[in-house]
């Protein structure tokens, strides 16, 4: 919630200069509690469709700007779906054309599974890019997760992601590299965040395109970056939305895919995720299956591992999304009430710190 500078106490100016949201008394008197309408393009595969839906909506709901949040999930018909997922989408999701007509304040785009060597060969490429082009002039900001980041940097900057030798997944320490940016207000200078990806866009690629890197890991690279205008597109390579057991569920899914013959190699244990005790259990599982026939392979020890999954990134993810929604709120408010913020350019979000 913003502070109100209701007198000339110097601390109010110091806090404002330091990046905190401090309203003038005149502006505070004209504040209204209103709605934010957020489109949520869920492109995740069927097995993760509803879990991703819950994770992102929870993340938005955990924010605390003065607003009421309406989240509108929708998907793309070009994505290959099973009957159950199709039924869920038909019953609970929205039609993008109708959302575009009624208007949105912001847009969230998730990752997706790919099957082609180049992203622009995917069946979802053209319909997704049509939505991205619409968003350029119709929403305050677009928030991208994982593969969505790789699609948009390919579209906007012709950046080709680099395929990694092995899946990069686990929980990694990151450093905030642009502490002055409003998206990182009240975020620890060092924090942890989960990743789960086979591909990477490097700091050098982001910066060559004019994007700003806001947070990165010495071990696995960029976590958070923004478009050259500093806000209109927010790029995550990691997963701020993940819950405490998201990596556990993913580990279980990949293990069972190996048992079922859908993957050739045993999945690696997610790095730096389990407690030391959980790591011992996971290592024992891998050792057991390496020594046994697949027909007698042990069941995945989910119940044994559950107590050893710590969430060390949730507060940071909430803080960044809170800052993002706060900026969306202020920018969309500018369109409605420009007269209460004279001199502020809605195309320069850094002025809204």
Give dist(CA 82, CA 348) in Å, integer: 43
Cβ-contact 352, 327 below 8 angstroms: yes
**Residue 350 pLDDT greater than 70, yes or no:** no
**pLDDT confidence bin for 67, thresholds 50/70/90:** confident
The answer as to whether 18 is a domain residue is: no
User: Is 23 inside a domain boundary?
Assistant: no
For the stretch 116-150, pLDDT in tens is 889 999 999 999 999 999 999 999 999 999 999 99
Count CB-CB contacts under 10 A for residue 207.
13
238 and 294 both lie in a single domain: no
Query: Is 351 a residue whose pLDDT tops 70?
Result: no
Residue 343: the pLDDT is 46
* Among 95, 43, 36, CA closest to 66: 36
In a domain, 200, yes or no: yes
Residue 231 maps to a domain: yes
Query: Which residues on adjacent β-strands are paired with residue 34?
Result: 67
Q: Is residue 309 flagged as an active site residue? A: no
Same structural domain for residues 166 and 301?
Answer: no
162-213 pLDDT tens trace: 999 999 999 999 999 998 999 999 899 999 999 999 999 999 999 999 999 9
Q: Which pLDDT does position 339 carry in this prediction?
A: 34
Predicted pLDDT of residue 92: 92
Does 138 share its domain with 255? no
* Of 271 and 353, the one with more pLDDT: 271
Q: Rank 6-20, 61-75, 310-324, 338-352 by mean pLDDT and report only the highest.
A: 310-324
Residues 276, 346 share a domain: no
Distance in angstroms (rounded) separating the CA atoms of residues 174 and 177: 9
Kindly state whether residues 294 and 318 are assigned to the same domain. Answer: no
More confidently predicted of 76 and 338: 76
146, 150, 216, 254: the catalytic one is 146
What share of residues in the chain are helix, strand, coil (percent, to 5)?
45, 20, 35
Same domain assignment for residues 77 and 111: yes
Residues 195 and 266 in one domain: no
Active-site annotation holder among 53, 192, 216, 241: 241
Q: How far is CA 195 from CA 16, 174, 286, 321, in A?
A: 33, 11, 21, 17
The reply to whether 251 and 320 lie within a common domain is no
* Domain assignment of residue 162, yes or no: yes
Do 115 and 233 belong together in one domain? Answer: yes
- The torsion angle over the Cα atoms of residues 147, 150, 151 and 154, rounded to 10 degrees, is -170
CATH number for the domain harbouring residue 158: 3.40.50.880
Average pLDDT over residues 96-123: 95
Is 239 catalytic? The answer is: yes
Q: Per the structure, how many domains does the chain have?
A: 2
Assigned domain for 27 exists: no
If you average pLDDT over every residue of the chain, what do you get? Answer: 89
Among 308, 328, 343, residue at a domain's last position? 308
Whole-prediction pTM: 0.88
Is the pLDDT higher at 7 or at 159?
Answer: 159
Q: Are 291 and 317 in a shared domain?
A: no
Q: Which of 37, 150, 239, 250 is catalytic?
A: 239
How does pLDDT run across 220-279, given as a tens digit for each residue?
999 999 999 999 999 999 999 999 999 999 999 999 999 998 888 999 999 999 999 999
Q: Answer yes or no: is 8 within a domain.
A: no
Task: Single out the residue in 276, 293, 308 at which a domain terminates.
Answer: 308
pLDDT in tens, 18-46: 766 777 878 767 666 678 899 999 999 99
Q: Which of 80-84, 106-110, 130-134, 296-300 has the lowest average pLDDT?
A: 296-300
Residues 40 and 188 in one domain: yes
Whole-angstrom distance, CA of residue 203 vs CA of residue 235: 12
Query: 110 in a domain, yes or no?
Result: yes
Please report the pLDDT score of residue 348 as a whole number. Answer: 62
Candidates 65, 58, 100; CA nearest to 333 is: 65
At residue 295, the pLDDT reads: 76
Q: Are residues 148 and 67 both part of a single domain?
A: yes
| Domain that includes residue 294, residue range | 246-308
211 is catalytic: no
């Amino acid at each position: 919630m913003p502070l109100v500078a209701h007198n000339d106490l110097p601390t109010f100016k110091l806090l404002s200069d330091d990046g905190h949201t401090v309203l003038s008394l005149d502006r505070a008197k004209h504040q209204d509690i209103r709605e934010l309408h957020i489109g949520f393009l869920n492109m995740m595969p069927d097995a993760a469709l509803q879990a991703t839906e819950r994770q992102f909506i929870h993340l938005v709901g955990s924010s605390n700007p003065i607003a009421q949040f309406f989240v509108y999930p929708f998907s793309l018909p070009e994505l290959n779906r099973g009957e159950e997922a199709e039924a869920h989408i038909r019953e609970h999701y929205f039609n993008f054309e109708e959302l575009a007509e009624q208007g949105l304040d912001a847009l969230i785009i998730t990752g997706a599974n790919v099957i082609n060597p180049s992203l622009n060969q995917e069946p979802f490429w053209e319909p997704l890019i049509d939505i991205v082009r619409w968003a350029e002039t119709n929403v305050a900001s677009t928030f991208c997760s994982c593969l969505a980041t790789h699609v948009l940097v390919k579209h906007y900057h012709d950046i080709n992601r680099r395929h990694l030798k092995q899946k990069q997944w686990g929980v990694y320490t990151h450093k905030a590299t642009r502490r002055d940016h409003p998206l990182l207000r009240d975020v620890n200078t060092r924090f942890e965040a989960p990743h789960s990806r086979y591909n990477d866009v490097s700091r050098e690629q982001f910066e060559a395109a004019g994007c700003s890197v806001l947070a990165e890991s010495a071990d696995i690279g960029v976590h958070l970056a923004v478009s050259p205008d500093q806000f209109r597109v927010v790029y995550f390579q990691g997963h701020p939305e993940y819950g405490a057991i998201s990596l556990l569920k993913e580990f279980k899914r990949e293990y069972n895919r190996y048992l079922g013959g859908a993957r050739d190699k045993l999945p690696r244990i997610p790095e730096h995720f389990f407690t030391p005790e959980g790591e011992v259990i996971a290592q024992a599982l891998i050792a057991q299956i390496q020594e046994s026939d697949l027909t007698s392979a042990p069941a995945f020890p989910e119940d044994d591992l559950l107590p050893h999954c710590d969430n060390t990134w949730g507060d940071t993810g909430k803080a960044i999304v809170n800052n993002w929604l706060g900026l969306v709120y202020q920018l969309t408010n500018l369109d409605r009430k420009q007269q209460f913020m004279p001199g502020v350019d809605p195309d320069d979000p850094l002025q809204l710190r």
